[in-house]
Homo-oligomer: A and B are copies of this chain.
Amino acid sequence: MNDEAIIEEPREDEVRGLDRDRVEAIRDAVEARDPERLNDLIEPLHPADIADLLEQIGGQERAELLSLWSREIDGDILSELDESIREEVIAALPPEVLSEAVRELESDDVVDILEDLEEPQQEIILDALEDADRVAVEQAMSYPEYSAGRLMQRETVVAPEHWTVGDAIDFLRSEDWLPDQFYHVILVDPRMKPVGNVTLGRLLSSKREVKLRDIAEESFRTIRATEDEADVAYLFNQYHLISAPVVDGDDRLVGVITIDDAMNVLDEEHEEDILRLAGVGEGSLSDNWFETTKQRFPWLFVNLLTAILASLVIGLFEGSISRIVALAVLMPIVASQGGNAGTQGLTVAVRALATRSLTYSNVGRVIGREIAQGVANGVFFGLIMGAISYIWFGQPMLGVVIGLAMIINLFAAALAGILIPVGLEKLGFDPALSSGAFVTTVTDVVGFFAFLWLATLILL
């Protein structure tokens, strides 16, 4: 750590991220193959910004930049890199740079990098670690993917529960090595079972003779190593945790999870939900067009099937359409309103399930509300659309038909928008991933059928 000259530097000059000018200058330096200028431009950046830079430039430029600058890549930059290009960057590093980079990281960060790599690259990184770190990382990798065990850092700061503040401070001062960031001293019993957390602020503000147990935090939660990382993120968010001890099946302390890890998971979960709702699978902005085409394809294919199903419904009424062409003109409106209303409802439901605010206690009330809302908006838009159709085509009964179809479809949309995500969740599927296809199928089929069937019944 750079202990000098921190205070003296004018803080206003701090580089606050990538701006357009700097990126342009970096590009010029790469093109001029000028490693010194390149280093002057990149070096003042935060590792997170350097990672962004590598993600945002094109593949060709990235390769050229790395060929000039790969010796400066450190562990922090690797940690910040998006997994979609991490493999590529790691492959470009000289072996000694890679060894140096992973050695300086804490075990949870090494695990995070390792998870997304192929076997041969994993081996290279494991070989680069010192023995103790290697064992720690391999143990972490033995926990299931997306579990607290993978997320935790194994380096913990513990104190026996009978210690005083003075004991703890003396111990901390005598330790050569402490984690980069820690927020609690974890109190443990003789079997290494965590029994309480003392915040560092409390430790610092208490007299030396005070017992640690007397200043432990009121609220204290441990996390099982096998717990799902999404549940961990929920706990941190719900209970405003800063750090929490992780225990094994025997309740013994095996690590600690800190809020920045939880914030990361929360961020990823959100991102996943948004992209899944839109039918975009895994994917990153640095993926090329071919990968992107493959990612977008499955959902478009599912959508094609539902669209064909809807067309089959329309096909049932070819005779009616050939007699009243206005039906063909108006029918997409009914389906489209239904699709949008359904998407509104399902998005609210998916989010409420994800944040655990839609539970057993209120699901009945929310279903009722959605139905009432569907009927209300259905009546509203039924009236509007009925009037418009009457004016447009001069047939009052056509207005009645589309009005009724609109009410029916917005009712169906409301029902599908809440029942489908709730049902999928109950069956153990991710509602974000598949609700959209089901709901759209319902609103397309019901929309076209209700409109064309009513028209056939009433108008012909």
Q: Is A237 in contact with B58, judged by CB distance below 8 angstroms?
A: no
Q: Residue A340 at the B interface, CB < 8 A?
A: yes
Q: How far is the CA of A158 from the CA of B301 in the complex (A)?
A: 59
Give the contacting residue for A18; candidates B213, B221, B287, B361; CB below 8 A. Answer: B361
Which of A14, A285, A310, A330 has its CB near the most chain B CB atoms (within 10 A)? A285
**Contact between A204 and B172 (Cβ–Cβ < 8 Å)?**
yes
Q: Mark A363-374, 1 if CB is under 8 A from B, else 0.
A: 001101110110
Bound complex: CA of A377 vs CA of B289, how far in Å?
Answer: 10
Contact A196 B6 (CB under 8 A): yes
User: Does any Cβ of B come within 8 Å of A93's Cβ?
Assistant: no
Complex CA–CA separation, A377 to B170 (angstroms): 65
Whether B325 contacts A307 by the Cβ 8 Å rule is no
CB-based contact A279/B340 at 8 Å: yes
- What B residues does A216 contact at CB under 8 A? 6-7
A373 lies within 8 A of B296 (CB): yes
* Interface-centre pick from A157, A300, A332 (highest chain B CB count, 10 A): A332
Query: Which residues of the other chain, B, contact A373 by a CB distance below 8 angstroms?
Result: 289, 292-293, 296
A220 touching B11 in the complex, CB below 8 Å, given contacts A175-B205, A285-B352, A315-B329: yes
Q: Given the complex, which residues of B lie within 8 Å of A199, measured CB to CB?
A: 181
CB of A70 closer than 8 Å to a CB of B:
no
A340 touches B303 (CB 8 A): yes
The residue among A7, A218, A314 with the most chain B CB atoms within 10 A of its own CB is A7
Q: Give the CA-CA distance A407 to B109 in the complex, in Å.
A: 44
> Which chain B residues border A340 with CB–CB below 8 Å?
279, 299-300, 303
Bound complex: CA A11 to CA B194 (Å): 9
CB within 8 Å of B: which of A1-43? 1-4, 6-7, 11, 14, 16-18, 20, 23
Which residue of B187, B306, B358 contacts A7 across the interface (Cβ within 8 Å)?
Answer: B187
- Inter-chain contact B289/A372, CB cutoff 8 Å: yes
What chain B residues lie within 8 Å of A326 (beta carbons)?
Answer: 318
A304 within 8 A of B: yes
Q: CB distance A332 to B335 under 8 Å?
A: yes
A178-B205 in contact (CB<8A): yes
Residues of B with C-beta under 8 A to A217: 6
Instruction: State which of A95-103, A133-141, A342-350, A419-427 sits at the interface with chain B.
Output: A342-350
- Beta-carbon contact of B46 and A219 below 8 Å: yes
A455 to chain B: closest CB distance in Å? Answer: 13
A195 at the interface (CB under 8 A from B): yes
Complex formed: what's the CA distance from A361 to B57 in Å? 6
Q: Given A6-B220, A263-B263, A308-B333, are A283 and B348 also a contact pair (CB < 8 Å)?
A: yes
Whether A279 and B344, one on each chain, are in contact in the complex, defined by CB atoms closer than 8 angstroms, is yes
A341 part of interface (Cβ distance < 8 Å): yes
For chain A, residues 175 to 230, give those with C-beta under 8 angstroms from any C-beta of chain B. Answer: 175, 178-179, 181-183, 187, 195-196, 199-201, 203-207, 213-222
CB pair B289–A263 under 8 Å, yes or no, is no
Q: A268 CB to closest chain B CB, in angstroms? A: 11
Tell me if B23 and A57 are in contact (CB < 8 A).
Answer: no
Is residue A337 contacting chain B, with contact meaning CB distance below 8 A?
A: yes
> Is B273 within 8 A of A274, CB to CB?
yes
Given contacts A280-B344, A289-B376, contact A17 B238 (CB under 8 A): yes
What chain B residues lie within 8 Å of A16 (beta carbons)?
Answer: 221
Q: Is the CB of A203 within 8 A of B204?
A: yes
| A58, chain B: closest CB distance, angstroms | 5
Complex contact A344–B239 (CB within 8 A): no
A249: min CB distance to chain B, Å? 13
Name A2's closest neighbour in chain B (CB-CB).
B218
- B318 and A384 within 8 A (CB): no
Which residues of the partner chain B approach A348 to less than 8 Å between Cβ atoms?
275, 278, 280, 283, 285
Q: List 12 A-B contacts (CB under 8 A).
A: A6-B196, A14-B221, A20-B361, A46-B219, A58-B362, A175-B205, A182-B201, A240-B260, A300-B377, A304-B333, A307-B333, A321-B325
8 A-B pairs besides A240-B260, A307-B336 with CB distance below 8 A are: A16-B221, A52-B357, A169-B204, A181-B242, A266-B267, A270-B270, A289-B370, A293-B377
Closest 3 A-B residue pairs measured CB to CB? A278-B347, A289-B372, A200-B200
